[in-house]
Amino acid sequence: MKKKIPIWAIMMMIAFFFTSITPALAEPEEQLFHRLIISGYYAMYQDGSGHWVAEEFPGQVNRVKPGDTRSMLIGQIPCNVKAKGKITRVEVKTADQITEEMFDKNTSEGSKTSLWRPMDFKEFDPMYLRYISGSITPSFTMKNDQGDVEVTANVLLGPINNAVRVAKEPDLARYYANATWAPNSSAVLWTVPVVVEWYGIPLAPVGPPDFSVQLELERFKNVKPGDKVTSTVTYTLNKDYPQQERAWLRLHHVLGGQEYAVTFEPINSADALDANGYVTFQPGESKTYRYTFTVQDKPSKILARINPVDTDQDKYWPNNRDEALVTMQNLRVEIISKPESAHPGEPVSVGARIFNEMADMQVTRLVAKINGKVVYDIDNFDVISMADKAVNFKMPDSDATVEFYINPDREKPADEITYADNIAKCTIKKLAPIIDNDGNLKVTIMAPSRVQPFKKWTFTVKVEGRFPPPPPPPSKDDDPTATISLKVNGKAVNIDYHLSEGTWGDVVVDTKVPVNYQKSTGITVPRGKKFSKTVTFTFPATTGFPGQDYPINLHAKATWRNYNGEDTSKTMIFLKPMEPEAQITL
pLDDT digits (tens, 9 = 90+) for 472-512: 555 555 667 778 888 888 887 776 665 555 444 455 555 66
Kindly state whether residues 244 and 312 are assigned to the same domain. Answer: yes
Q: Is the pTM of this model over 0.75?
A: no
3-class secondary-structure state, position 9: helix
Kindly state whether residues 423 and 554 are assigned to the same domain. Answer: no
pLDDT reported for residue 476: 58
DSSP 408: T
Residue 258: strand pairing partners: 255
**302 located within any domain:** yes
Kindly state whether residues 195 and 287 are assigned to the same domain. Answer: no
Q: Residue 258: CB partners within 8 Å, gap ≥ 6?
A: none
Please report the DSSP string for 530-553 in residue order: EEEEEEEEEEPP---BBTBEEEEE
Kindly state whether residues 76 and 182 are assigned to the same domain. Answer: yes
Final residue belonging to a domain, choices 153, 181, 202: 202
Kindly state whether residues 303 and 399 are assigned to the same domain. Answer: no
Residue 402: strand pairing partners: 370, 426
* CA 120 – CA 234 distance, rounded (Å): 54
Q: Which string of b and e fits 459-484 if b means at least 16 CB within 10 Å? A: bebbbbbebeeeeeeeeeeeeeebeb
Q: What is the pLDDT of residues 17-48, one digit of tens each?
A: 333 433 333 456 899 999 999 999 999 999 98
* CA 294 – CA 253 distance, rounded (Å): 9
Final residue belonging to a domain, choices 294, 326, 358: 326
- Looking at the structure of the chain, the number of domains it has is 4
* CA 53 – CA 526 distance, rounded (Å): 123
Please report the DSSP string for 214-227 in residue order: EES-SEE-S--TT-
* CA 129 – CA 281 distance, rounded (Å): 50
What are the backbone dihedrals phi and psi of residue 160, each rounded to the nearest 5 degrees, phi first?
-65, -25
Element spanning 402, H or E: strand 400-406
* CA 153 – CA 155 distance, rounded (Å): 6
Say if residue 1's pLDDT is above 60.
no
Final residue belonging to a domain, choices 272, 302, 326: 326
Kindly state whether residues 135 and 106 are assigned to the same domain. Answer: yes
For the beta carbon of residue 383, count every other beta carbon within 10 angstroms: 21
Say if residue 4's pLDDT is above 80.
no
Q: What is the 3-state secondary structure (H, E, C) of 196-209?
A: EEEEEEECCCCCCC
Say if residue 267's pLDDT is above 80.
yes
Using CA atoms, how far residue 73 sits from 41, 80, 180, in Å, is 9, 20, 21
**586 located within any domain:** no
Q: What mean pLDDT is reported for the chain?
A: 83
CATH number, domain of 518, equals 2.60.40.10
For the beta carbon of residue 30, count every other beta carbon within 10 angstroms: 14
Say if residue 449's pLDDT is above 90.
no
Which domain does 570 fall in, by range? 441-574
Kindly state whether residues 104 and 188 are assigned to the same domain. Answer: yes
pLDDT reported for residue 34: 94
**48 located within any domain:** yes
Kindly state whether residues 43 and 180 are assigned to the same domain. Answer: yes
Say if residue 10's pLDDT is above 70.
no
3-class secondary-structure state, position 504: coil
Closest to 577 measured CA to CA, from 505, 517, 492, 480: 505
Kindly state whether residues 226 and 141 are assigned to the same domain. Answer: no
Kindly provide the residue ranges of all beta strands, DSSP E only, lying in 240-398, ordered along the sequence.
245-255, 258-261, 264-266, 278-281, 286-294, 300-308, 321-326, 331-337, 341-342, 347-356, 362-370, 373-383, 386-394
3-class secondary-structure state, position 377: strand
Kindly state whether residues 496 and 539 are assigned to the same domain. Answer: yes
**114 located within any domain:** yes
Q: What is the pLDDT of residues 380-431, one digit of tens each?
A: 888 877 788 899 999 998 999 999 998 888 888 887 778 888 899 999 998 8
**10 located within any domain:** no
Using CA atoms, how far residue 519 sits from 144, 437, 473, 537, in Å, is 89, 20, 38, 8
Q: What is the pLDDT of residues 174-224, one digit of tens each?
A: 898 877 788 888 999 999 999 999 999 988 777 899 999 999 998 888 788
Kindly state whether residues 450 and 416 are assigned to the same domain. Answer: no
Kindly state whether residues 141 and 271 are assigned to the same domain. Answer: no
State the Cα torsion 12-14-17-20 to the nearest 10°: -50
pLDDT reported for residue 502: 46
How far is CA 362 from its chain centroid? 37
Give the pLDDT mean for 319-330: 87
* CA 558 – CA 519 distance, rounded (Å): 12
What's the pLDDT band for 143 if we cut at 50, 70, 90? very high
Closest to 464 measured CA to CA, from 397, 532, 395: 532
**355 located within any domain:** yes
pLDDT reported for residue 8: 44
Element spanning 42, H or E: strand 31-46
Contact predicate 227/293, CB 8 Å = no
Sign of CA dihedral 264, 270, 271, 277: positive
